[in-house]
Amino acid sequence: MIAFIGRRALLAIPTLIFISFISFVIIQLPPGDYVTSYAAQLRQQGDYISIAQEAIMRQNLGLNDPILVQYWRWISNIVFRGDFGHSLEWNAPVGSLIWDRLALTLAISSLSLVFTWIIAIPVGVYSATRQYSILDHLFTVFGFLGKGVPDFLLALILMWIGFMYLHIDVGGLFSPQYQNAPWSWDKVVNLLSHLWIPLVVLATGGAAGLIRVMRANMLDELGKPYVETAYAQGLSERQVVWNYPVRVALNPFISTVGWSLPALFSGDVITAVVLNLPTTGPLLLQALKMQDMYLAGSFILILSVFTVIGTLVSDILLAWFDPRIRYA
Amino acid sequence: MGNSIMTNSMPENRLLELDNVQVQFPMREGLVKAVNGVSYHVNKGEVLGIVGESGSGKSITARAIMRLLPKNAKETGGSIRLRPRTGEEFELSALDRNSRAVRKVRGNHIGMIFQEPMTALSPVHTIGTQIMRTVQLHKGLSKADARARAVELLAKVQMPRPAQLVDAYPHQLSGGMRQRAMIALAISCDPSLLIADEPTTALDVTTEAQIIELLKELKSELGMAIVFITHNFGVVADIADRVSVMYLGRIVETADVDDIFYAPKHPYTQALLRSIPRLGVDQGRRLPTIPGMVPDPFSVPNGCAFNPRCIHAVPGLCDTQVPPELRFGSQMSRCHIAEQFAQTEQQEPAHV
């Protein structure tokens, strides 16, 4: 097992180097650079800078150096000094921009992930063990609705309901009066009254799909002979179902749980924009639009690191959970 | 069905008694009478072989005993009674699939072995865990005692290196070893009855012989009875004391194992025996087969279900009336003209 983990961890290193380089190159690919976008933005506002000024800016920002030099400057600072560079647009260190929003993003995303699993697994198991019952049909309808309705639309509807009928503030995470207030009980209550919409939106979309996956997996497993063997031992239905087929049916969940790590980080961008949530998603979108290459590059690098780590975690979990993989 | 039958007490040495058990499957295409009035009994410590083609209802009957029928099955009648060593009597046919009472019987008084050792064990638990769970459930053993018991059971079924293989997962074992683990699981609580549903069908012949030998040893060592379901007469001859032959949901003949082979009194049994190849006999001749095909389950022929394929069928009798159970000593045959076979036997001893 240790050798297995070690081998996987070593394999991750060249993957990360490769990804970081590719992501840096891709960000540079579109014609123009940050200075071009910046000049365009200024022109829109009726302002302008001269070509010479643009050239000086490029010189100062090091944008004229060969790409390998730029890459090395960027990656060596990250690896050796934990410095993600300077966001050109925000004129602030990338690190502070990202980490500020990261805690909130991780909190919202992990909460919604936990909700998704808490809803999806029992409902999927129930739907499979009571196939074609009234509740199964009901869950199926809800599942397809949840899967079919786009998240941002659901977010808009919930905001409208909250605003029109519940008379609460919607959007953002706090009402204006609490925005800069110190933490207090009222502020927490205020946070919760804002938080339920993103949670419901994110959890329904995720749960709807997972219910279908869990149900299908369970139906496959329930028909297998080892389930009958378990019944023939005198175990009750609950003991049989939760100890045997659920164990096997969870495998696809576990093998994909790692991917939720980068998803947790990037968050649901559209929903976050609609709900005006100060998470990382909208920041990434803006950085990409502005060709703010250090910010966007760091984002993509962090996402890739999370993907690689997540996959590693999934592999290890799956090997721990399913002996057939461990010894293969 | 009748209450009078239920109140009758079973003979002293009787372990299991099935009376007129009926199981049907309502399908879109029609009603399938998978088990159509099956009656048999098993005495303490004996091996009853049940022989029949696929679809004859032998496995479904076994599932009815275990109360593990598929959810779409309908039981329309019959009684199943069990009196294990402990002396309690269970009216199994009255118990619900998930009832507490039937869960006390399963795995505890009745052990069951399945056909596919590859898939009949949980792939994500060690064989030790699976055995321990059963003995902890029924015997209330501590974890350490349950583990010791698991190792002991694996040794009993002649698993090599039981102390190590108790921690093995099914996919690490060979087919024969898996079936040994399956047997260890089934006998873990010293059941009075072992139901073996084609336990050797998926194994090669060498392993099959070893498993049969093991079951025979365990039977005499533990004093348990076995219901041995198979489609292979050779295996039955090896292990069974008595044999029941099933055809399309009915038992057509029941007899001691010698009578089945040397004095069969049902044309179906006779035809099955004729179609077994024998070494040194019938050389250079075509092996006799049973004419026709097994009818599809939605249109079982009237009268005797075997009559369209029977070389002795009497028109006007066999295709209109269901034959009654005719008894010749301990032998039972559901054939209108079974008498005839009994007479010819007296004139010339049956072929070997």
Look at residue B230 in the predicted model and tell me its pLDDT: 93
Asked if the C-beta of A186 comes within 8 angstroms of chain B's C-beta atoms, the answer is no
Residue B114 included in any domain: yes
Higher pLDDT, A133 or A270: A133
The C-alpha of A323 sits at a distance from chain B's nearest C-alpha, in angstroms, of 6
Residue A179's nearest CA partner among A278, A284, A285, A281 is A278
Residue B60 included in any domain: yes
Domain layout of chain A by residue ranges = 101-289
Q: How far apart are CA A311 and CA A290, in angstroms?
A: 31
What is the distance between the terminal CA atoms of chain A, rounded to a whole angstrom?
A: 12
Asked if the C-beta of A38 comes within 8 angstroms of chain B's C-beta atoms, the answer is no
Is the CB of residue A21 less than 8 Å from the CB of residue A324?
no
Q: For A68-77, B169-178, B343-352, which range has the lowest pLDDT when averaged over its residues? A: B343-352
Residue A40, both tokens: 């365009």
Q: How far apart are CA B204 and CA B134, in angstroms?
A: 29
Is the CB of residue B21 less than 8 Å from the CB of residue B80?
yes
Q: How far apart are CA B262 and CA B241, in angstroms?
A: 14
Say yes or no: B218 and B327 in one domain: no
Please report which helix (H) or strand (E) contains residue B35, including its range: strand B30-43
Q: Collect all residues of chain A within an 8 Å Cβ-Cβ radius of residue B68.
A: 228, 231-232
1.10.3720.10, 3.30.360.10, 3.40.50.300, 3.40.50.1110: CATH of A101-289: 1.10.3720.10
Asked if the C-beta of A323 comes within 8 angstroms of chain B's C-beta atoms, the answer is yes
In order of A25, A258, A290, B90, the CA distances from A30 in angstroms are: 10, 31, 11, 80
The count of C-alpha atoms lying within 13 angstroms of the C-alpha of A237, restricted to the half-sphere facing its C-beta, is 12
Q: Residue A220 pLDDT more than 80?
A: yes
Q: Out of B107, B126, B171, name the one closest to residue A232 (CB).
A: B107
Look at residue B189 in the predicted model and tell me its pLDDT: 94
Q: How far apart are CA A112 and CA A3, in angstroms?
A: 34
Residue A59, both tokens: 């010189």
**Residue of B67, B69, B122 to mutate when probing chain A, most A C-beta within 10 A:** B122
Beta strands in chain A (DSSP E): 86-87, 92-93
Backbone angles phi, psi at B290, to 5 degrees: -85, 125
Q: What is the CATH number for B180?
A: 3.40.50.300
Give residues with Cβ within 8 angstroms of B71, minimum separation 6. none
Residue B26 included in any domain: yes
Residue B256 included in any domain: yes
CB pairs A-B closer than 8 Å? 79
Residues A324, B122: C-beta atoms closer than 8 Å: no
Chain A stretch 205-244, residues whose beta carbon is closer than 8 A to a beta carbon of chain B: 224-226, 228-237, 243-244
Is the CB of residue B99 less than 8 Å from the CB of residue B105?
no
Say yes or no: B103 and B212 in one domain: yes
Alpha helix positions (H), A29-49: 34-44
Q: Collect all residues of chain A within an 8 Å Cβ-Cβ radius of residue B96.
A: none
Residue B84's nearest CA partner among B142, B34, B10 is B10
- What percentage of residues in chain A have a pLDDT greater than 70? 98
Q: Collect all residues of chain A within an 8 Å Cβ-Cβ radius of residue B66.
A: 232
Helix pair B175-186, B205-222: axis angle to 10 deg? 20
Say yes or no: B184 and B315 in one domain: no
Asked if the C-beta of A21 comes within 8 angstroms of chain B's C-beta atoms, the answer is no
Count of C-beta atoms within a 10 Å radius of residue B26: 10
The count of C-alpha atoms lying within 13 angstroms of the C-alpha of B64, restricted to the half-sphere facing its C-beta, is 35
Beta strands in A57-200 (DSSP E): 86-87, 92-93
Q: Out of A231, A244, A321, name the one closest to residue B122 (CB).
A: A244
Please report which helix (H) or strand (E) contains residue B26, including its range: strand B14-27
Question: Which residue carries 């829109």 as its tokens?
Answer: A44
Say yes or no: B260 and B235 in one domain: no
The C-alpha of A328 sits at a distance from chain B's nearest C-alpha, in angstroms, of 10
Tell me the per-residue pLDDT of B52-101, one tens digit each, with 9 for 90 and over: 988 899 999 999 999 999 989 999 989 999 999 998 899 999 999 889 99
Q: Collect all residues of chain A within an 8 Å Cβ-Cβ radius of residue B114.
A: 225, 228-229, 232
Q: Collect all residues of chain B within an 8 Å Cβ-Cβ radius of residue A322.
A: 123-124
Is the CB of residue B134 less than 8 Å from the CB of residue B185?
yes
What mean pLDDT value characterizes chain A?
84
What is the distance between the terminal CA atoms of chain B, rounded to a whole angstrom?
A: 41
Tell me the per-residue pLDDT of A60-101, one tens digit each, with 9 for 90 and over: 877 778 888 888 888 888 888 878 877 877 878 888 888 778
Vertex A252: Cα angle to A214 and A272 (nearest 5): 80
Q: Which amino acid is at A36?
A: T
Q: Collect all residues of chain A within an 8 Å Cβ-Cβ radius of residue B107.
A: 232-235
Say yes or no: B47 and B154 in one domain: yes
Q: For A221-230, A316-325, B214-223, which range has the lowest pLDDT when averaged over its residues? A: A316-325
Count of C-beta atoms within a 10 Å radius of residue A168: 15
The C-alpha of A232 sits at a distance from chain B's nearest C-alpha, in angstroms, of 5
Q: Out of B116, B133, B138, name the one closest to residue A225 (CB).
A: B116
Q: What is the ipTM of this complex?
A: 0.88
pLDDT bucket at B8, cuts 50 / 70 / 90? low
Is the CB of residue A222 less than 8 Å from the CB of residue A248?
no
Look at residue A290 in the predicted model and tell me its pLDDT: 77
Cβ-in-10-Å burial (0-12, 13-18, 19+) of B10 comes to middle
Vertex B245: Cα angle to B239 and B250 (nearest 5): 145
Domain range enclosing B332:
250-277+291-347
Is the CB of residue B34 less than 8 Å from the CB of residue B25?
yes
Higher pLDDT, A98 or B138: B138
Tell me the per-residue pLDDT of A13-30, one tens digit each, with 9 for 90 and over: 888 888 888 888 877 777
Residues A233, B104: C-beta atoms closer than 8 Å: no
Question: Which residue carries 């992930």 as its tokens?
Answer: A113
Q: Residue B6 pLDDT more than 50?
A: no
Say yes or no: B76 and B176 in one domain: yes
Q: How far apart are CA A248 and CA A323, in angstroms?
A: 11
Vertex B97: Cα angle to B91 and B103 (nearest 5): 75
- Per DSSP, chain A holds a count of helices (H) and strands (E) of 17, 2
Q: Are strands B225-230 and B193-197 parallel, antiparallel or unpaired?
A: parallel
The C-alpha of B72 sits at a distance from chain A's nearest C-alpha, in angstroms, of 12
Backbone angles phi, psi at B51, to 5 degrees: -115, 140
3-state secondary structure of A93: strand
Residues A234, B103: C-beta atoms closer than 8 Å: yes
Domains of chain B: total: 2
Q: Residue B154 pLDDT more than 50?
A: yes
Residues B134, A234: C-beta atoms closer than 8 Å: yes
User: What are residue B251's DSSP bridge partners?
Assistant: B246
Residue B286 included in any domain: no
In the predicted model, what is the mean pLDDT of residues A34-51? 80
In the predicted model, what is the mean pLDDT of residues A206-221? 90
Say yes or no: B23 and B50 in one domain: yes
Q: How far apart are CA B314 and CA B319, in angstroms?
A: 8
